[in-house]
Amino acid sequence: MTVLTPNQTSAGKPQVLHRRRKPLATRAYKAFRVAALIAVVLFLIAPLFWMLLASFKTNVDIYDTGKALFFSPTGENYANVLQRNNYFVFIFNSFWVAFVSTALSIVLGVPAAYAMSRFTMHRSALVVLMARVIPGVSLLVPWYYVFSNLRMVGRFEVLILSHMFVALPLIVYIMMSYFDSLPLELEESAQVDGLTPIGAFRRITLPLSVAGIATAGILSFIFSWNNFMFALVLSGASTKTLPVAIFDFVSYASIDWGGLMAAATVVTIPIMIIALFTQKYIVSGLTAGATKG
């Protein structure tokens, strides 16, 4: 009602009218909304901030509850983690495995998603998407069986293959809903103009799909970077990825909290920076296919 009134009055002073007539309930809701949003942001950010703070504290300061927020920061934890524990190697391993498994999955997954979308291959799509449902452990046992018989456990190839198991279905899933939303007319008119169907895919559809491929690629990279279980079983001393390296941190006698938090920060920071710059893509990828009937 109150919304309608200013519009119905003649163009006189609608804005002033609007402001004066705004009911108390609306203002109360506005205040509530601001408070609730601040609470949500605090709830989500505070733990991460705590981790970051602890990574700059000495272990003595971590045990001193009086120095929760005010303390003299030290870079020692990072120096320890990066130098003594060889984290540069693990960072490279994580990056390499995530990069190669994502790249290979794009090469395999994008054409497959295209075919499945254009020829509505529902059953084939279902087989690929099943992979999103299967518990990872049930694949690990047979893989471990095969690869340890081939004496290949601990090699990059095996790790990359296992990460592709997550990446490929993800890429097919995202790209299928992307191709579904791309109009068919463009390809058809390209074919009328003399391009072969594959040529139309390569010269028309693919360049139009860069945003979709970026979305799928970024998400697949993040999932691979964060993957823990496959690397826990299939990586060796020289191919260990960051999540496994952090996990090994606590199996020592007593927990070096400062070092552990520095290690945890080292893992999460790169992925968060990527996420900040590619926010739009991540959101569209995570919600792909969620809102269509």
Partner 1 sequence: MSVTNAARSAPARSAGRPPSLGGNISAWSNRHRKWLFAAPAMIFVGVLIVFPLVWTLYLSLTDSQGSVRAATEFIGLQNYLTVLTDTDRFWPAVGRTMTFTGVALVCEVVLGMGIALLLWRPFRGEKWVRVAILLPLVATPVAVGMMWRLIFDPNIGFANQLLGMIGIPPQPWLSGQDTALGTTIFMDVWQWTPMVVLILLAGLTSLSDEPDEAARVDGANAFQRFFYITLPLMMPTVIVAILLRGIDALKTFDILYATKGKGGGSFNEVETLNVYAYGLSFDYNQYGLSSAVLILFFMIIIGSMWLLTMRKKAVSK
Q: Which residues within the stretch 76-115 sit at the binding site for partner 1 (CB under 8 A)?
A: 108-109, 111-112, 114-115
**Residues of span 176-195 touching partner 1 by CB under 8 A:** 184, 187-188, 191, 194-195
Cβ neighbours around 268 below 10 Å, total: 18
Q: Is residue 156 within 8 Å of residue 97, measured between CB atoms?
A: yes
* Residue 191 phi, psi (nearest 5): -70, -35
Report in angstroms how near the CB of residue 212 gets to partner 1 at its nearest: 16
Contact 239, 159 (CB under 8 A): yes
Q: Does 23 bind partner 1 (CB under 8 A)?
A: no
Write down the least CB distance from residue 240 to partner 1, Å: 13
Question: Which of the ranges 9-17, 49-57, 76-84, 206-214 carries the binding residues for partner 1, by CB under 8 A?
Answer: 49-57
The residue within the footprint of partner 1, chosen from 176, 209, 268, 281 (CB under 8 A), is 268
Query: Which residue, 269, 245, 254, 290, is CA-closest to 90?
Result: 245
The residue whose two tokens read 């990069």 is: 99
Q: Is 159 in the site for partner 1 (CB under 8 A)?
A: no
Our finding on whether 239 is near partner 1 (CB under 8 A) is no
- For residue 16, state whether it binds partner 1 (rule: CB under 8 A): no
290 contacts partner 1 (rule: CB under 8 A) = yes
Among 58, 82, 124, 208, binds partner 1 (CB under 8 A): 124
Residues 131-150 that bind partner 1 (CB under 8 A): 131-145, 148-149
Q: Which of 16, 31, 41, 60 binds partner 1 (CB under 8 A)?
A: 41
Q: Which is nearer to partner 1, 16 or 283 (CB)?
A: 283
Binding residue for partner 1, selected from 165, 178, 179, 281, defined by CB under 8 A: 165
DSSP H or E stretch at residue 207: helix 206-208
> 183 near 250, Cβ under 8 Å?
no
Which sign, positive or negative, has the C-alpha torsion 217, 160, 275, 44? Answer: positive
**Under rule CB under 8 A, residue 118 binds partner 1:** yes
Which one of 92, 196, 211, 238 is in contact with partner 1 (CB under 8 A)? 196
Residue 50 to residue 243: CA distance in whole angstroms: 19
Exposed / middle / buried, residue 203 (Cβ in 10 Å: 0-12, 13-18, 19+):
middle
Quick one: 43 or 70, whose CB is closer to partner 1? 43
Is residue 143 within 8 A of residue 234, CB to CB? The reply is yes
Q: Does 252 bind partner 1 (CB under 8 A)?
A: no
Largest CA-CA distance found in the chain, in angstroms, rounded: 84
Is the Cβ of residue 17 or residue 232 nearer to partner 1 in the bound state? Answer: 232
